[in-house]
Each structure stands twice: as structure tokens, then as C-alpha cells.
Amino acid sequence: MIDLVVRHFALPLRHPFTISRGTVDVQDTVIVQLHQDGLFGYGEATTNPYYGATVESLTRRIAAVAPRLHAASADDLDGLLDTAAALLGADTFAHCAVDLAIHDLWGKRRGGPLHRLWGLDPAAGPLSNYTIGIDTPERMAAKLAEVPDWPVYKIKLGTDRDLEIVRELRRHTAKPFRVDANCGWTPRQAIELSGPLAELGVEFIEQPLAADDPGMAEVYRRSALPVFADESCGVEADVDRCAGRFHGINIKLVKCGGLAAARRMIARARELGLAVMCGCMTESSVGISALAQLVPLLDHVDMDGAALLAADIAHGVVVEAGRRRYPDHAGTGVELLGGPLAA
């Protein structure tokens, strides 16, 4: 018998965070708690206007799943994942929150961290980047100076000062950069910027064009830098379409519906010869700790979401200076700071 509780939290950010589409200073998020026999599993989905996920839509859809889980056991991982996919598959954010909680509770009942239950080496995999949101070049340099010990920086672009921003940041560090235009460029801009960005020590470009821009195949052929899909690669069916248009994909748990879908996407991307990155939203340690279980499978990871918060709501995997430290807990390793949620 599994009990489900869904609860909204407002996550305050350290700094207002700006990308090419807008600015956020408090991030709303929805936490799912599953409970069976004294063990608690947690999942998360942040709200997102671009993807149409609101507190109300997430809460309503997740709460509607509760009666179907009530008769189940957390030991039946495949059965639970199938139920969640059937009921929530069309809303990947809600699906993600429930999928993460199912995996966490299953791992806690099995008594091991998910990465170990999957046979992965926790020491393997890349270090995380730290993301610098859009601001004036001077203020972006000041943000970078606050976090000098991260091994690689992801710079949000899509402004009319993009090269100026990267040149200014390059004056302050010799570490590698990656850039994310969040759909903000035309094909011509992407191709023309790629050479100077390569010379400035940028290693790849994330989502240069709008998600369905037909110019992507030409950018893929002519860019001086590898290009990674984010908004162009949401769900499993998108992975095949990225071959021949991108060198790699950026998987996010909320875009694809959670850990089960993400693992299938990683496997398919490998078959297609695509590089694999996973990214996060500005989210709490609930979501980040789930993402951290996948890192041994990845080429690159952006998992600074909880590090961007002024206050977290959970203990779990800690990400500092790009390194992740797994807690000595089973599942995703998450415990809410305030203790389990009351039904």
C-alpha cells in the first residue's frame, strides 16, 4: 500500500536568473512523496512556462494518480513505472516527479543507492558545470568571480552582446566554457559565432536555434563547434531526429518524464553516436539527487540547480565545485529537511 502526498514549495534563488526567455527570482516546485511501511520516496518537478507546467496542473495530475498507487507495492518497480507512464505520459513534468519518487522508494526498500542497484561506478562520469545567467558582461563576470572553484562554466547567451560577454568572462578565468543560446540565434548567427567562440575556449553550443528550425542541419555541418540539442530533444521520440542535426543531446528529467525514460534515451543516443549530457532546472536537491544517479553514464552534466538556490528543502547528493558527493542513503539519497510531509 503506497500513500502519495504532493506539495508545492517556493525555492528562493541566490541571484535572479535570466535566460533568453525571461527572469526568475523564486522558482516554484512540486514535491511528490510516496510512503510505504515507514520508508519515503521523493520526486520533484519544477514549474515552467515554456513547457506549460504550473503548480495547479502538476498538483492536480499527480494527485489523480494516488488511488492507482494505493493498492500497489513499491517492490513492483516495473509495474509502478508502467502505471505512471500510462496515467501521466502526456505531462512529462508530472510524470517525472512521480517516476523519481517511485525510483527513490524502490531503492530505499532495496537498501542501496540507485546507481549501485543499476551497476554503475559512482566515481565515473563528468564534473558539473556552473551556469552563469544573462546579465551585463560586467555583472556576469562578477557572478563568475563568486564561484571560482567550478571546473567549467555554462554561459547563457542569446543577447545582442554575446561575443562581448564571452570575451569579458574569458578575462577572468582560463577554465572551459560551454554556451547555451536557448533558441536565441538564427542559423547565420550560430555559424558566424561558432568560430570566435571556439577561439575563446568554448567547447560546445547548446540549442542555438528554435526547437524546430530547419536551419539546424546546415548549422550542424558548418559550425566550428559541436552543437547540443536541449529544447529540440524533449522526449524519447526526439532522439532519432537529433542524429544529423546535432552532435549531442541534453536530457532533462522533467522534459522526458523521469529516470526510466532518461536511461532509454541515453542508450538510444549511444546507438546513434550522439554525445550525451544531462541538465537540470533550477531545482532542489530532490531532483538533483535523482539526476546524480545517472552521471556515470554521461559525457557532460549540468547539475548546479540546487547550488543556485538561497535555501534548499532537502538533504541528498551535494554538488560543490562541480564534484558530487553521494550521501550514505539508499534510493536517490533524499530526505526532506523538514521531515516527511503530513498527509
Name which of 21 and 143 has its Cβ closer to Mg ion: 21
304 binds Mg ion, rule: CB under 5 A: no
Q: Name every residue whose Cβ is closer than 8 Å to that of residue 124 and which is 6 or more positions away in sequence.
A: 295, 296
Q: Which stretch binds Mg ion (CB under 5 A): 118-126, 164-172, 173-181, 313-321?
A: 173-181
Name which of 180 and 213 has its Cβ closer to Mg ion: 180
Contact in structure between 103 and 290 (CB atoms under 8 Å): yes
Name which of 65 and 295 has its Cβ closer to Mg ion: 295
312 binds Mg ion, rule: CB under 5 A: no
Q: Which stretch binds Mg ion (CB under 5 A): 90-98, 150-158, 204-212, 280-288?
A: 204-212
Three-state DSSP at 42 gives strand
In terms of Cα–Cα distance, which of 258, 336, 233, 286 is closest to 83? 258
CA-to-CA distance for 70 and 198, rounded, in angstroms? 53
Q: Which stretch binds Mg ion (CB under 5 A): 24-32, 210-218, 230-238, 252-260?
A: 230-238
Name which of 31 and 261 has its Cβ closer to Mg ion: 261
In terms of Cα–Cα distance, which of 274, 268, 234 is closest to 95? 234
In terms of Cα–Cα distance, which of 128, 178, 179 is closest to 307? 128
Name which of 108 and 300 has its Cβ closer to Mg ion: 300
Q: Which of 44, 91, 99, 180 binds Mg ion (CB under 5 A)?
A: 180
Binding residues for Mg ion, total number by CB under 5 A: 3
Q: Shortest Cβ distance from residue 206 to Mg ion (Å)? A: 5
Q: Which stretch binds Mg ion (CB under 5 A): 36-44, 223-231, 232-240, 266-274?
A: 223-231
Q: Which stretch binds Mg ion (CB under 5 A): 132-140, 202-210, 257-265, 326-334?
A: 202-210
230 binds Mg ion, rule: CB under 5 A: yes
Name which of 233 and 330 has its Cβ closer to Mg ion: 233
* Segment 222-227 long-range contacts (CB within 8 Å, at least 24 positions apart): 222/191, 222/194, 223/190, 223/191, 223/194, 224/194, 224/195, 224/197, 224/198, 225/194, 225/197, 225/198, 226/275, 227/190
Q: Shortest Cβ distance from residue 10 to Mg ion (Å)? A: 23
Q: Shortest Cβ distance from residue 182 to Mg ion (Å)? A: 6
CA-to-CA distance for 108 and 183, rounded, in angstroms? 39
Question: In terms of residues, how long is the chain?
Answer: 343
The number of angstroms, rounded, from the C-alpha of 235 to the middle of its chain's C-alpha atoms is 13
Instruction: Catalog residues that contact Mg ion under the rule CB under 5 A.
Output: 180, 206, 230
